[in-house]
């Protein structure tokens, strides 16, 4: 790996670490609001990246050019939710909070880029970083919504699932990590399921960017 490639990968690590930190903070914050202080007591109710990053998934692999990453999962204990909150509902809410935070970050990147262009504050390096942040957060949000364990989407699917399907679901969860690896490594129809919503998000973002920039 040459110096230029390493610098490009290092630039990718910056928005990745920030996005993953916000994602995990969102899980911790939503759980705390529902009455579970497990993550808060472990110091995870913070935006400090050092409390969330995984050395391999957040730094080393991205530096090597691997186009994905992960952070340390935030622990959630549904038994500590407020009695008014059903455990299944609470888990769905806390799981959804992560991808929602990434959608919000992606929107913020578009708005900031539009404002910069509107007021002629363009800066190539900053715009490239914001564009990278937008694409990264859209990818994180869509990917994490897949109903495959241990992704956030699996928690939502589990919460909506009839009890009669639970035994089959528990058997399926054993193969979740292998299925995710296959999706990432080998071309498959499921990759098209990922690209379609991402493409729609890019199209909407481009339109919003033009409106804000006044172009």
pTM: 0.92
> What letter does residue 71 receive in the DSSP assignment?
B
State residue 24's pLDDT score.
98
State residue 1's pLDDT score.
61
- DSSP H helices, the chain, are 3-33, 38-41, 61-63, 87-118, 124-144, 152-160, 166-173, 176-185, 189-213
User: Average of pLDDT values for 42-59?
Assistant: 95
Catalytic (active site) residue 127: no
Contact by Cβ (8 Å): 20, 53: yes
From the list 4, 24, 127, 170, the catalytic residue is 24
Positive or negative torsion for Cα 95, 142, 51, 54: positive
Look at residue 118 and tell me whether its pLDDT is greater than 80: yes
State residue 114's pLDDT score.
95
Look at residue 205 and tell me whether its pLDDT is greater than 90: yes
Look at residue 2 and tell me whether its pLDDT is greater than 80: no
* All structural domains of the chain with their residue ranges: 3-213
Nearest CA among 133, 112, 134 for reference residue 123:
112
State residue 65's pLDDT score.
82
Look at residue 188 and tell me whether its pLDDT is greater than 70: no
């Amino acid at each position: 790996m040459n110096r230029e490639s390493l610098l490009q990968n290092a630039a990718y690590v910056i928005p990745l670490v920030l996005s993953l930190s916000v994602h995990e903070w969102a899980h911790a914050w939503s759980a705390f609001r529902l009455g579970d202080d497990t993550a808060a007591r472990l110091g995870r109710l913070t935006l400090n990246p050092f409390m969330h990053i995984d050395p391999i998934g957040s730094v080393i692999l991205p530096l090597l050019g691997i186009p994905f990453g992960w952070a340390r999962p935030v622990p959630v204990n549904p038994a500590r939710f407020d009695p008014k909150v059903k455990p299944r509902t609470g888990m769905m809410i806390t799981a959804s909070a992560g991808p929602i935070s990434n959608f919000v970050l992606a929107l913020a990147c578009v708005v900031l880029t539009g404002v910069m262009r509107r007021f002629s504050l363009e800066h190539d390096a900053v715009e490239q970083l914001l564009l990278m942040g937008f694409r990264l957060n859209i990818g994180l949000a869509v990917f994490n919504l897949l109903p495959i364990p241990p992704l956030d989407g699996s928690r939502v699917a589990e919460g909506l699932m009839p009890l009669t399907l639970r035994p089959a679901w528990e058997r399926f969860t054993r193969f979740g990590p292998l299925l995710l690896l296959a999706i990432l490594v080998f071309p498959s129809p499921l990759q098209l399921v990922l690209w379609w919503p991402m493409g729609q998000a890019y199209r909407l973002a481009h339109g919003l960017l033009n409106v804000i920039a006044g172009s």
